[in-house]
Amino acid sequence: MMAIEKLGAKPKEFIVVSLGTQQYLRALESRAVDAATIDPPLLFFVLRKNFNRILDLGAVVEMPVGGLTTLSKTLAVKPDQVRRVIKALQEAKESLLNSKERAVDFTMKVMNMDRETAVKTCELMAVAWVGTGVPTRSGIENIVKGIQSQGRFIDKKISFEDLADPRFAIQVAREFGHRVD
């Protein structure tokens, strides 16, 4: 809905239905729906069936991909452990970004996909993986807005600080040579 708003359309003009992953293709083929949000690897299967990709949601709405969650107590009591975990995740991400072959092999193994689909998935995900790993205000605000659009926590003012503590991610990003404010 945020993407629809950003593109100048009115969300109330759309009817949104929730389908299971297996129903997307049938719904599109039968024209029961006009469009569907589809992630890899199903996205590439649908494209091979001559459907068109009409919008890259990630290019329109900033939304954090992945992430790490821990208790506030863990941040206070084991800060070095938190920083080491963030660093390990960033090293893994950098390794995948710097070796397309390693990323493809990893994707094939973990997601149980063929090489062609894994290559396309890695190319698509590389765009999402680029960055410092530091949560942004706009990304967190979009998460909150998405949750509230579902009718949850609508009576609460939720701030960036309520959900994110970027201190350790900033430290790690700087270690990797990223400029972070």
Question: Taking a C-beta distance cutoff of 8 angstroms, is the pair 9, 85 a contact?
Answer: no
pLDDT of residue 129: 81
Question: Phi and psi at residue 158, in whole multiples of 5°?
Answer: -105, 125
Single out the residue of 33, 38, 18, 10 nearest to residue 124, CA to CA.
38
**With 0-12 CB in 10 A as exposed, 13-18 as middle and 19+ as buried, what is 179?**
exposed
101-128 pLDDT tens trace: 999 999 999 989 999 999 998 988 888 7
80-97 pLDDT tens trace: 999 999 999 999 989 989
Q: Which residue has the higher pLDDT, 17 or 65?
A: 17
pLDDT of residue 37: 87
Global pTM? 0.72
Please tell me the distance from the alpha carbon of residue 53 to that of residue 36, in angstroms, as a whole number. Answer: 10
